[in-house]
Amino acid sequence: MGRESSITRIVGPENYAKLQQFKCLIVGAGGIGSELLKDCILMGFGEIHIVDLDTIDLSNLNRQFLFRQKDIKQPKSTTAVKAVQHFSNSKLVPYQGNVMDTNQFPLHWFDQFDIFLNGLDNLAARRYVNKISQFLKKPLIESGTSGFDGYIQPILPGNTECFDCTKKETPKTFPVCTIRSTPSQPIHCIVWAKNFLFNQLFTSDQSSTTGDSDGNDWGTDDKEEIERIKQETNELHDLQQIVHHQDKVHITDILKKLFVKDIEKLLQLDNLWKSRAKPTPLTDDLIDSAKDGHDSTDLNAIWSLEEQISQFINVTEKLMDRIVEEDYNIEFDKDDQDTLVFVATAANIRSHIFGIPIKTVFDIKQIAGNIIPAIATTNAIVAGLSTLTALRLLNFLPYAKTNSGLDVNMAFTARASNLSKDRYLSNPKLAPPNCNCAVCAKVARGVVKITEKGLEKLTLSQLIDLLKKKYNYPSETSLIDTSDQRLLVDFDFEDLLDRTLSQAKLHDGSVILFSDEEGDESEMYRKPLEIYLDVVEESAINSEIELPALEIPLFTPPKQEEEDEGKETSTEESPEKEEDKNGIVILDEDEGKDEKDGTTTKRPRSPDQTENDSKRAKTSKNHNDENGVIELD
Amino acid sequence: MDRFDRQLRLWGGFGHELLTNGQICFIVERRDDPLLLEVQRHLLLAGISSYLVLHSDKQHTPAKDAFAFIDENQELQALNPEIKPQWNFLPWSRIQTQSFKDISVIVLINCRDAHMLQELSIRREHSINFPPVLVAAVNYPLAYMYLWLKEIHFVVTTNPEYVVPDLRINEPWDEVLQYTESLDFGKLREEELAEIPYPLILSSALRATSQDERPLHQKLDDFYLKYSQQALNDSNYRQAKRYARQVSRSSELGRQRVKQLLNRLQIYQRSNWHDSFNGKFMTLCQALGQFLDQYHQLPLPSEFPDMEAGTQIYNDLKMIYQKKAREDCETMEAIVARLGFPDFPRMLVKKFCDNINYWTLLEPIVNESSVPGIYSSTELTRYLNEQEVTISTHEKKLLENLLSLAEDSYDSHTLVSSFPATAFLGGAVAQEVVKLVTHQYVPIDNTFVYDLISDESSTIKL
């Protein structure tokens, strides 16, 4: 039996004809993306567009079945499309680019699709596509895998929970002082080696390093310590010169500076070591004698300190050889062994100094590269479910009509480690939107069409007046650019009122948030309105600007306590994995997923632990800010 | 190895080697079956290189506009050229004479031909040893798979998500005791106390407060805070408090669990195994039984976790634990040798000891029917009757659907591929094969059914 008759049997002839007119967008052409592409073709979508930013890497080939050895370094999206062309009856359009790039992919570009299918690997892009689907009110199927476990979450805007309705695992962050002065876990040293040291020595753009600019969370109020950290950064510029001049004889100077002098300076800050074990600096002699040591090549073995030092020297030499050719800019890449060994050895030497366990290169690769183990089978399972669910969301199954998005299921494969106790596939019904969700429920959304001229002419003040009038907002309001949370206007900041939109750096694709800051007599507020600025041709609209027809509801802001409710939870099986109050997040944490699949039981933090933590918060002056600053990407 | 980097993180070099040496037999109606293609490509990517394909004797004309998204001859080869994949194609008529002794798993794909099933069943019944058979089909509106075991299947490690380290804090041995006694908390300064690893704090507390009947986590503060006012701010003591609850039960629970597993093995006294790995594992289990009888303890796993502690004292303690783990492992080796296996692979003994709390087993069905349970209407009816009270309405419906498929007269044309259910099941079947071959993670025991129209699924033991 051919493809057509098989699909017709599932969806019926009429729906099959419709399906052939439908356009879908696949975001990501990696593990899940290549599976989705194949499935959508075999299912008979009329047009399939696929976006990916990346190029193909050797470590993709164990699961991304459309790619071959010869395709390494080629763009994923176009290569994938070439590979499937021979069995496709659909029109296929590949793009190499970042889906979040509003120049390449403005909102009206997204508007051509009937459904979005995510095959993404990062939180930022997932959130972005979710937001786009909310703006356009179009269905999205979100999915992800980790090892043997996978999930799909269908999202029907306004009808079901959106991606952001449940708390997500956020990037792990650490206060600066934990990384730079007082590491206590391997991860702290790895972040130091990768985000700070490696960038300082080998990368030309250092804006993304551990940020010792003012305004960051230092995790400490100790002026002396902050001063030391800043000074240390400045001194590293000298070390960078050694690298740039390929001055191999002086590599030991780098070691002596980092692991002897800097540690000695740290030791002088008595405050740091009152309740902590002191670090033990290396000695110059040790460094000099380890220099010609034997090298271990086994990335799975724990190397001795001498081996770490000698490997550090070797790999720094290699990186020096590369740096001129590579335009004084080498970026850390988990699959680039030189950069990996550099980070691993530097982290391990630092660990040794601080009495922290040393790790193998293989293990550090996983931590530094944030590697999620991925296999083809789970991706296939998830993509298969995802495309089946697409039929359900589009209401193409005549024998199983979906009356509302809430009739659709999400799906989780059971953890392969405890299958005997669990169902293999659990598919809870979707929940309605979470009324506290800042993305889908707490704001109203609309697309404002504006011409290029409008951007040049219209002032912020005029825009605000238009919005107030059209949607009945009171006189006190505020306007924020959500891309960087930049305040444009509020009741005591009116400096920008007379700037035009383009002077205020608003452009095609800018998303601004307009909020009621006053409320009415009965303390009811207009919902905040999130606006997407869609720049269109002059012929497309009648005037310079066109506001969408929207009813903005009123609401009563919830009390603070309600919002905080239920935040303090931890998993019973893993006392190690709970979030530490001072912003140190242990790497293995996997809260986002656990929350939904319900396979792990959660309990409120036990009373003695809460007490314990609050006491600590009172006595400890350090790390009292919840927001860390160093992100492990 | 970079190609396999991501999956090595799931099943390790140990699992990878088993995959490399694995051989899979597919039994199919036709060689261009889309489900076969799906399973096949996943297994190639995972690193399995050797295949035997038993197909129907009928000649099938290639379907027009079929699901063949990969050219079965050239492109499959190119998926993973380094492993040099090899195929051997034979017609069903060769089932009777075929030796399956080198086959790791037989995967029966989209075929329910009565004659073939009978041939296979007879061959299986008459063999002392036979590989596990995984039955899989997409049969609109159902997609299902069923595991048909002839012998026990051992799982070296279930790879649990969360683990509690096995540190035997309430059952310390001499070295730990001596080391603990050498520390006099009363004489240590606060910063020295902040360097003590939590297992030492907990074992000292247990000994010093043995008269106090409260559970450890309730009496810990009373014991320790008198030595250090600062302790509640010390990360090592915070760890001690977190783990205090688990101390009293974890060793005993581990032993109970292992004893239950060993008891289940009592009835399987055989020396002849299809899967040599299962055979070796049985030997290890016998040795473990003797170890338990003699020492009333499980062998200590060698992994000693990271913890908040001073370098010196952490390393001292780690050495003590690793020495004990090494000795236990050597003792196990000696027992294995006494059982008649002097050249038993040492790596396997170590792997077993390290996963002593995480291994498990799947058992074959005792009074099985002559065909795979999922194709036997008697089996399905029996299950439905027995479970009538406990199963949910949706499960009942699924099983009734399955039953009506089993009762239908079979016609190869009723087995229709239903993409994307085929893609879904292909991934799931290949995943089960990987679990079986690597002896890691828990395979589905033994039936999984999914209805693509109602989006309901069920996992049961038939």
Confidence at residue A291, expressed as pLDDT on a 0 to 100 scale: 74
CB contact under 8 A, B424 and A615: no
Query: How far apart, in whole angstroms, are the C-alpha atoms of residue A413 and residue A455?
Result: 49
User: Is it the case that residue A632 has pLDDT exceeding 80?
Assistant: no
CB contact under 8 A, B162 and A574: yes
B421 to chain A: which residues are within 8 Å by CB? 384, 388
- Determine the residue among B39, B190, B455 to mutate to test chain A binding: the one whose Cβ has the most chain A Cβ atoms within 10 Å: B455
CB contact under 8 A, A384 and B425: yes
Quick check: bond before A548 cis, omega within 30?
no
Confidence at residue B70, expressed as pLDDT on a 0 to 100 scale: 63
Query: How far apart, in whole angstroms, are the C-alpha atoms of residue A450 and residue A216?
Result: 36
Q: Which residue of B has its CA nearest to A606?
A: B242
| Residue entry with tokens 């238009």 | A466
Cβ atoms within 10 Å, residue A166: 16
Percentage above 70 pLDDT, chain A: 83
B457 to chain A: which residues are within 8 Å by CB? 423-425, 427
Q: Which residue of B has its CA nearest to A619?
A: B233
Q: Which domains does chain B have, with CATH numbers?
A: 2-150+364-460 (3.40.50.720), 174-361 (no CATH)
Query: How far apart, in whole angstroms, are the C-alpha atoms of residue A379 and residue A242?
Result: 46
Name the nearest CA neighbour of A261 among A283, A240, A242, A289.
A283
Min distance A531 CA to chain B CA atoms (Å): 37
> Which residues make Cβ contacts (< 8 Å) with residue A62, sequence separation at least 6?
A375, A376, B3, B4, B5, B6, B7, B45, B46
Interface of B with A in 238-257 (CB under 8 A): 238-239, 241-243
Q: Which residue of A has its CA nearest to B308?
A: A184
Nearest by CB to residue B10, choosing from A59, A373, A389, is A373
Min distance B294 CA to chain A CA atoms (Å): 31
CB contact under 8 A, B140 and A9: yes
Nearest by CB to residue B41, choosing from A65, A419, A612, is A65
A47: phi then psi, degrees, rounded to nearest 5 = -135, 135
A310, A321, A445 from A315: Cα distances, Å:
9, 10, 52
Query: How far apart, in whole angstroms, are the C-alpha atoms of residue B134 and residue A140?
Result: 35
Q: Pick out the residues of the known binding site of A.
A: 28-33, 52, 60-63, 76, 121-126, 162, 165, 437, 440
Put simply, whether B64 touches A (Cβ < 8 Å) is: yes
Confidence at residue B187, expressed as pLDDT on a 0 to 100 scale: 92
CB contact under 8 A, A1 and B459: no
Query: How far apart, in whole angstroms, are the C-alpha atoms of residue A450 and residue A108?
Result: 13
Put simply, whether B202 touches A (Cβ < 8 Å) is: no
3-state secondary structure B433-462: HHHHHHCECCCCCCEEEEECCCCEEEEECC
Q: H or E stretch including B90?
A: strand B86-91
Report residue B73 as tokens: 């001859």
Report residue B192 as tokens: 């020295």
CB contact under 8 A, B428 and A383: no
A612 to chain B: which residues are within 8 Å by CB? 232, 238, 241
B100 residue type, one letter: F
Name the nearest CA neighbour of A140 among A130, A128, A149, A151.
A130
Confidence at residue A628, expressed as pLDDT on a 0 to 100 scale: 33
Name the nearest CA neighbour of B254 among B286, B292, B223.
B292
pLDDT tens for chain B, 462 residues: list them.
578 888 888 898 999 999 999 999 999 988 888 899 999 999 999 999 999 999 987 777 666 556 666 666 677 888 888 889 999 999 999 999 999 999 999 999 998 888 999 999 999 999 989 999 999 999 888 999 999 999 999 999 998 888 888 999 999 999 999 999 999 999 998 888 988 999 999 999 999 998 999 999 999 999 999 998 889 988 899 999 999 988 877 888 999 999 999 999 988 877 789 999 999 999 999 999 999 999 999 999 998 988 888 777 888 899 999 999 999 999 999 999 999 999 999 999 999 999 999 999 999 988 887 889 999 889 999 999 998 888 888 889 999 999 988 887 666 555 556 778 999 999 999 999 999 999 999 999 999 999 988 888 899 998
> Which residues make Cβ contacts (< 8 Å) with residue B431, sequence separation at least 6?
A148, A375, A377, A378, A381, A416, B42
Confidence at residue A377, expressed as pLDDT on a 0 to 100 scale: 94
Q: Which domains does chain A have, with CATH numbers?
A: 3-168+373-426 (3.40.50.720), 181-368 (1.10.10.520), 444-557 (3.10.290.20), 562-631 (no CATH)
Query: How far apart, in whole angstroms, are the C-alpha atoms of residue A163 and residue A389?
Result: 16
Give the pairing type, strands A47-52 and A486-489. unpaired
User: Is it the case that residue A567 has pLDDT exceeding 80?
Assistant: no
- Determine the residue among A37, A56, A340, A375 to mutate to test chain B binding: the one whose Cβ has the most chain B Cβ atoms within 10 Å: A375
Lowest mean pLDDT among A353-367, A425-439, A490-504: A425-439
Name the nearest CA neighbour of B332 among B364, B365, B354.
B354
A190, A200, A254, A339, A369 from A343: Cα distances, Å:
7, 12, 14, 6, 11
CB contact under 8 A, B233 and A620: yes
Residues A543, A453 contacting (CB under 8 angstroms):
no
Query: How far apart, in whole angstroms, are the C-alpha atoms of residue A16 and residue A13?
Result: 5
For residues A428-439, average pLDDT: 83
Q: How far is CA B13 from the centre of its chain?
A: 16
For residues A547-562, average pLDDT: 77
Put simply, whether B319 touches A (Cβ < 8 Å) is: no
Q: What is the pLDDT of residues A370-429, one digit of tens each?
A: 778 889 999 999 999 999 999 988 888 877 777 777 778 878 887 666 665 557 888 888
Q: Pick out the residues of the known binding site of A for Zn(2+).
A: 162, 165, 437, 440
Nearest by CB to residue A381, choosing from B235, B243, B424, is B424
For residues A236-249, average pLDDT: 86
Put simply, whether B363 touches A (Cβ < 8 Å) is: no
Mean pLDDT across chain A: 81
For residues A216-237, average pLDDT: 78
Confidence at residue A224, expressed as pLDDT on a 0 to 100 scale: 81
- To 10 degrees, the CA torsion angle through B332, B337, B340, B345? 80
Nearest by CB to residue A184, choosing from B64, B162, B235, is B235
Name the nearest CA neighbour of B148 among B175, B121, B123, B168.
B121
B194 to chain A: which residues are within 8 Å by CB? 275-277
Q: Is B237 exposed, middle or buried (0-12, 13-18, 19+ CB in 10 A)?
A: buried
A430 to chain B: which residues are within 8 Å by CB? none
- Determine the residue among B2, B4, B6 to mutate to test chain A binding: the one whose Cβ has the most chain A Cβ atoms within 10 Å: B6
CB contact under 8 A, B45 and A376: yes
DSSP calls for A148-187:
TEEEEEEE-TTTS--GGGS--PPPPEE-HHHHHT---SHH
Q: What is the pLDDT of residues A159-218, one digit of tens each?
A: 899 999 988 776 667 778 888 888 888 889 999 999 889 988 898 765 444 444 544 667
| Residue entry with tokens 């939109």 | A501
Catalytic site residue A40? no
| Residue entry with tokens 């089960």 | B432
User: Is it the case that residue A631 has pLDDT exceeding 60?
Assistant: no
CB contact under 8 A, A384 and B435: no
Nearest by CB to residue A377, choosing from B9, B190, B427, is B427
Prediction ipTM score = 0.93
B3 to chain A: which residues are within 8 Å by CB? 58-59, 61-62
A575 to chain B: which residues are within 8 Å by CB? 242-243
Q: Which of A40, A177, A189, A435 is flagged as catalytic?
A: A177
Residues A410, A132 contacting (CB under 8 angstroms):
no
> Which residues make Cβ contacts (< 8 Å) with residue B234, sequence separation at least 6?
A275, B193, B194, B228, B308
The three-class DSSP label of residue A202 is: helix
Nearest by CB to residue A35, choosing from B7, B65, B423, is B423
Beta-ladder partners of A332: none
pLDDT band, residue A289 (cuts 50/70/90): confident
Query: How far apart, in whole angstroms, are the C-alpha atoms of residue B4 and residue B7?
Result: 6
